[in-house]
Chains A and B, each alone.
Chain A
Amino acid sequence: MPSFLSVRRLSKHYSGVHALQGIDLEIEEGKVLGLVGPNGSGKTTLFNCLTGFTRATAGHVVWCGDDITFLAPDQIARKGVVRTFQQKMVFPQSTVRENVEMAWQARRADGSHHILGGCDDVMRFLGLSPVEGTLAADIPFGFARKLGLGLALAARPRLLLLDEPAAGLNLDETRELGSLIGRISGELGMTVCVIEHDMELIMSISERIVVLDAGQKIAEGQPDQIANDPNVIAVYLGEKFAKRRAAQ
């Protein structure tokens, strides 16, 4: 049986800078995978390679048995791998509803009956209905983040890649986002891979965590294993985090 998504020895070099160095990664269907690491460790580059926005220098990305390494972003999205962006995540001069509609119609129904029946379902799921008539440029940042998520959901992915979905959110919003991601995985049955710096969030939602540093995978495992991994503490989490976690 082919695996869901597997990354095989993926490398990306930018004239001398080795953004990714032979990454191996498996994403299991139905799980939430956390992807963490210091700035510049190659997390977003990995996402770009998975979704076709960056062409890998070497290695392969295999999605449900198909090699998608060199497909265009829109082809990959139509196959069911959809990502969000850290910035510029919405269509600013369109209303929230129009945003979701654009995303919805971009991918034609593939016959499988999806649990989200339409744009209204997407907006209700995310609590965007109250602002559906507002221009996306005018809604508060927290809503814009959710709308970015909504666009990706409206494209009805099987694998959802979230690039720092909590960046810029306050505590309450982050907590809400955490439960949303849980529901996306649980209720909608999507597989989720999250890049995030908020360790509490990532520890609470992920079933497995992969740590990158300088373009290499330095650790992989359950959240608890990662939190106690001395190597990860040294390069990313820091002693403070480890002590605080031990105290809890």
Chain B
Amino acid sequence: MTTAIARFRQSFPGQHATSDVLAVRLPILLLLALPLLAPTLFPTSRLVSLAVTASIYVIVANGLHVVFSYNGQLSLAHTTLWGLGAYSAGLLLVHYDLPIALLIPAAGLTAALGAVLIGIPAFRTSGFSFAIVTFAAAEILRLIGNDWTRLTHGGRGITIDLFTAPTALGPIKFDTFNHLANFYYLTLAFAYVSIAGIWAIRNSSLGRTFIAIKENEQLARSLGINVYFHKLLAFAVSGFYAGVAGVLFLYHQKHIDPGQLSPFNALNSIQFLLMILIGGRASTLGPVIGAIVVVFGPEVVNSIFGNILTPTRAQIVFGSTLALSVLTAPNGIAGQTRDGFNTFVAVTRRSRERGRSWPVSMLIGLGYSFWPRAAQRHGINVRPEREP
């Protein structure tokens, strides 16, 4: 037990004591548990529905996190992989009436396969060329969705009838009309699994290999790492995530088509990149925070300014806030919070050592926590924020 505690302590940046570890990890775990209360806390089913959307976004963004943040590849095909998952699930549902327990792995694998097929030519290039190739691949898939009418039902898309489609997993029903909360818990469960998944990847030798490739591809290659294979693998993993999210999206929306607002639109990929950048590229929970901000941010802005601003102007306010947050917190909300907290601890400790009382020290620490760079000027060096 003691060794477990000691190891736990070491797992945290060296400068903090055990109390700090608990002080950091416990609130994070509690915050992570908070979404469980959403159906009871949210007054309207519209908000619960938004929470479902946020959970689905979390899954897609987590998948993109593996490719973009860990492996350093700017993929613009992600929304399309998401749509590929939704489409394959829709077709399987319409033609074969498969239960969701089979749809989810099937859609996940289809999207993973799609990712591999896109990746095989795309990873011959890198950097911006790679982004363009993935964008083109996404457009091709969208055109297939639109024009291969016999397979995909064309522009009409696929509508599933939830009254006849299988919507129960054992005894638990989760159709979105009568059992929205159940469906929310289902998506939430997948969101948790996706977080655990990328956390596990981040802390495995596989994750380290992905990061090595991002940091210095040539060096990685010279050490015997098969760069091409690992890029494909990261892309396939993230495709799987997107595919799973696609099934949940399909059940939530009951309809999918290749149009502008569907997940089958390559331009929408930008919003997942945005989530990661806002939340923090360097943190496991970055995409989660980003997804929540992107989904609920407009709601918050509306509830504050709803009476004085038209919806369009509220959107402008929200957009400007996002731009400002990316400018002021280049490491994302997660990175900024961590920097701030570390500064708070370090400054408070220093202040205590200089004989100030607890309340005064903490007040000073709190002040500096909003501006870690100012504390650095006084020689307080918090562990530098870094890429994952």
Contacts and interface: CB of A to CB of B under 8 A. Distances in A.
Interface residues on B, range: 20 to 34
B211 A151 contact: no
Interface stretch (B21-29, B59-67, B218-226): B218-226
Interface in B371-388: 384, 386-387
Contact of B211 (A72, A83, A91, A105): A91
Given A77-B224, A155-B224, A98 B208 contact: yes
Contacts of A103: 223
B284 interface: no
Given A93-B386, A93-B387, A74 B221 contact: yes
Contact of B224 (A84, A88, A98, A106): A106
Contacts of A77: 221-224
Contacts of B227: 74
B14 interface: yes
Interface in A65-106: 72-74, 77-78, 82-85, 88-94, 98, 101-103, 105-106
Interface in B168-222: 205, 208-209, 211-212, 215-216, 218-222
Nearest to A91: B215
A90 B219 contact: yes
Contact of A151 (B14, B219, B221): B219
B224 A53 contact: no
A38 interface: no
A88 B223 contact: no
A50 to B, nearest CB: 11
A162 to B, nearest CB: 12
Contact of B209 (A84, A102, A152, A155): A102
A51 B215 CA distance: 20
Contact of A102 (B14, B212, B226, B386): B212
Given A91-B212, A94-B215, A101-B208, A73 B384 contact: no
Contacts of B212: 91, 94, 102, 106
Given A77-B224, A88-B216, A103-B223, 14 more contacts: A53-B222, A74-B221, A74-B223, A82-B222, A85-B222, A88-B219, A91-B212, A93-B211, A93-B215, A106-B223, A133-B14, A138-B384, A151-B223, A154-B223
6 contacts: A74-B224, A77-B221, A77-B224, A90-B219, A93-B387, A106-B223
